Structure 1
Amino acid sequence: MLFGGVCDDDKEIHEGLSQFFSEFERNNDCKFHLTYFSSGEELLEHYLCKNFEKFHFLFLDIEMAGINGLETAKQIRSLTNNDVTIIFLSSYPDYVMESFDVLTFQYLLKPLTYDVFESKMMRLCAHLSSTAKQVMFLKDQRGQNIVPISEIIAISKLKHSLVQNKLQVITTDQEFLITGTISSYSVKLGIPFLLVYRSVIVNMDYIRGFTANSVVTSNQLDFPISRTQIKQIKDTYAKYMAGKFII
């Protein structure tokens, strides 16, 4: 499932793209969850919400009343979670060069035909598929969340006796409460994630030090460490860090 946003002040564009996406789903092994916006302000309001839904891609109109598409894209790129793939829509080719400043993936001219849409979506799906391992889908009470794996600091099992198979995922800017087991995520994630305790996985990129019985991360959190395996854990961390700096 790919999550996408469509931002255009023309409702006919919304309807046309909705039909294109439906036809593309029927003909290809790709499913979409789409959210539609009618202005740049509305899209930015979505991004500024505390628990906003992250998108894989955005179809963004350039000529809109209020904040235009280019300015909207610039503001999105200035945010912490700014790696969304942007596809611009425009009736004019004049903004092509300026669109490069916000790392646009495609610049499509209106009116958009299905043949052009299909060819560009095939390329987009291939691009997102090649980077799929770089993100993780985490489902919590807020819904489905797309989280870059590189932003995950640690995953720990909740200790509350009434909670079964509940994990706390700590990232650089927020936390998630999900269902799962430490063992399954330890296998799924692999390097650079390290099982430091039976109930804790830590991303070695965020380790900043060790104490006698804990590991300290960049956000100043302490996680317990297995005393019987502390030497092996430190050796693994040292080898990983040394390998990062080999040229």
Structure 2
Amino acid sequence: MIKIAFCDDDLLVLNELSVLVDRYRVSHNREIAYTTYNSPLELLAGIERGTRYDILFLDVLMPGENGIETAREIRTWDKSVKIIFLTSSEEFAVQSYVVGAYFYQLKPIWEESFVRLMDSVLAECIKSQSDSLILKCKDGITRINLTQLEYCEVIGRVLLLHLSSGKVLESSGSMEELSRQIFKRGGFIRPHRSYLVNMDYIQNISYRAITLYCLTQIPIPRGKYAEIKQTFLEYAFQSEESML
């Protein structure tokens, strides 16, 4: 299910967008849910309460707080939502991309251009969903690409996700739930109850530890070496990696 929000102070525009998305989801047989907001403050209140959207159509010129300022606040809570600005002027085009806009759509919005835009942004959303994981972190809702996740460890009730960039994200939750979600996608192993490892980053496996390319060592419990080695070799074979 793709979740969309429309935010515009013009009720006629909101109605037009609602009609367009209704036609689109019927003609393309898509599961799409949408919510309309008449003011940016209403939208921000919903997002701060934890409501999450995949796509956001946001009017640039609104009373009180314009769309660029609203988007800047949204990015403190959600860095992954696809933001599409709506405007009758190109004046704010450059500023829109500073806040990570997906597209800058000029009004009026014709159905043909709306369909092309929806095809494009939905393809991006579907790709992101299959290759990524959404987490509630200290700095807001974050989508991480699993190919960039080297390993995860749990300390107390805090999950620490180590990315290939060197960044470490903190998230609350259980290792069991995280493992359940990630194992659906494959490529990960849980050698120890406190660690989850991306096998693409394994450099060496010894009787005592897994060594990653970043030189971090993950402990191997006694008696688990053979099982871990076999899992890794099977993964490397399926990935068609060269082995000597």
Q: Which TM bucket (shorter chain)?
A: 0.5 to 0.7
Does residue 117 of structure 1 match 2:114? yes
- Structure 1 partner of 2:196: 202
For the structure 1 residues 214 and 64, does the alpha-carbon distance in structure 2 shift closer, same or farther, using more than 3 Å as the test? farther
Unaligned runs of 5+ in 1: 139-144, 157-168, 206-212, 216-223, 241-247
Asked whether the 8 Å contact 2:6–2:56 carries over to 1, the reply is: yes
For the structure 1 residues 101 and 181, does the alpha-carbon distance in structure 2 shift closer, same or farther, using more than 3 Å as the test? closer
Please point out which of 130, 138, 148 is paired with 2:127: 130
Does residue 190 of structure 1 match 2:200? no
Asked whether the 8 Å contact 1:57–1:85 carries over to 2, the reply is: yes
Q: After TM superposition, give the deviation of residue 118 of structure 1 in Å.
A: 0.9
Matches of 2:12 and 2:220, distance apart in 1: 57
Asked whether the 8 Å contact 1:59–1:86 carries over to 2, the reply is: yes
- Structure 2 partner of 1:17: 17
Matches of 1:3 and 1:114, distance apart in 2: 20
- TM-score normalised by the chain length of structure 2: 0.64
Aligned-partner SS, 2:58: strand
For the structure 1 residues 91 and 15, does the alpha-carbon distance in structure 2 shift closer, same or farther, using more than 3 Å as the test? same
Identity across aligned pairs (percent)?
Answer: 25
Unaligned runs of 5+ in 2: 136-140, 162-168, 201-207, 211-218, 237-244
Number of residues of Structure 1 aligned to a counterpart in Structure 2: 202
For the structure 1 residues 200 and 82, does the alpha-carbon distance in structure 2 shift closer, same or farther, using more than 3 Å as the test? same
- TM-score normalised by the chain length of structure 1: 0.63
CA RMSD of aligned residues (A): 4.1
Q: After TM superposition, give the deviation of residue 149 of structure 1 in Å.
A: 5.8
Partner amino acid, structure 1, of 2:3: F
Matches of 2:51 and 2:173, distance apart in 1: 13
Matches of 1:194 and 1:28, distance apart in 2: 38
